Structure 1
Amino acid sequence: MKIIYGNKSFKLDEFLVKPLFAHLSTLSKEGPRESPVWFYWENEHIYIIGTPSSDTFPRRIEENPACAIGIVDLDHTTGKVLHAGFRGEATVEPFDKKIATKLLERYLGPDEEKWDPRFQGLGDSNVLIKFVPETVVVRDQSFVPSM
């Protein structure tokens, strides 16, 4: 993975442990598509949970694995804008409960019984998207707020 740092930058691994939204961009026959997703970063891969019965991005990745992921940490009150933009390829993998649990705990906490019922007991009707980045652009685009 090639990391391209902007003039101002930040530590990528520290950024990727935060429970931020990622935006997965994929290609379809009708043109590009974007899906907001939760993610988990491990061993220089991004993992995303997919549900083929309701999510269309697993099918799009099977048809064309080239995709991009953008992640932004924004606080408009302080002017903080940290952005990591990934380019690479993804694959649809069998569901892995261990990775999925790590991903969901970041956003929902450690006690699965307290999670929203939609996220409890995920299993083989789900898949994991494994994104392998070729490049990542890391930029601190913070500004001085006017408020």
Structure 2
Amino acid sequence: MNGLTEEQIKLRESILAKPLFAHISTIHNDEPRESPVWYLWEENQLWIIGNYKTDSFPKRIERNSKCAIGIVDFDVSEGIVRHVDFRGNAYLEKANHKIIERLFFKYLGEYKKWHPRFQSVLDNKDYVLIKFEYNTIVVRDQSY
């Protein structure tokens, strides 16, 4: 499905394991919109969390599932420039506490260390998960 080499797969996995920001591009009235998001990559599946009431990207996805996601690993002091780009479709799913907990753990560590703002997400019914299904993936290392 993705046509990646073994080296590209290893690079993809190393980038996606990091707590980096992803940028999801969605469509609104035939115009692209971009939103920075946290993500979880598990078993070739990309998950994103969003608040249906306060974030605009879940509603855009609901109207048009086509989107792209870019994740960049950049460190100027080390000359690292690596990225993973996905193109495909995203779908809203009911919040799943186990997935949300793993996603937040990636960025925040243990639950007891989470700021109360993030702890409250688990009981807030306004949050949804976005399940991203990619059609194409591009992985590049342009480090210098």
| TM-score when normalising by structure 2 | 0.91
SS at match of 2:19: coil
CA deviations over 1:21-48 (Å, ceiling 9, x no partner): 1000000016110000000001211101
Q: Distance in 2 between matches of 1:116 and 1:34?
A: 26
**Structure 2: which 5+ residue stretches go unaligned?**
none
Structure-to-structure mapping, 1:1-147, within 5 angstroms: 1-4=1-4, 9=8, 11-29=11-29, 31-110=31-110, 112-122=111-121, 123=123, 124-143=125-144
Distance 1:86 1:62 in 2: 18
Distance 1:43 1:78 in 2: 30
Q: CA deviation at 1:69?
A: 0.3
**2:15 and 2:83 in contact (8 A); partners too:** no
Runs in 1 of length 4+ with deviation above 6 angstroms? Answer: none
**Match of 2:140, SS?**
strand
Q: Which one scores higher on RCO, CA 8 angstroms, separation ≥ 6?
A: 1
The structure with more helix, counted as a fraction of residues: 2
Distance in structure 1 (CA, Å) of the matches to 2:113 and 2:18: 20
Aligned-partner SS, 1:54: coil
**Cα pair 1:40 1:46 within 8 Å, conserved:** yes
**Identical residues among aligned pairs (%):** 49
Give the Cα–Cα distance (whole angstroms) in 1 for the partners of residues 141 and 126 of structure 2.
38
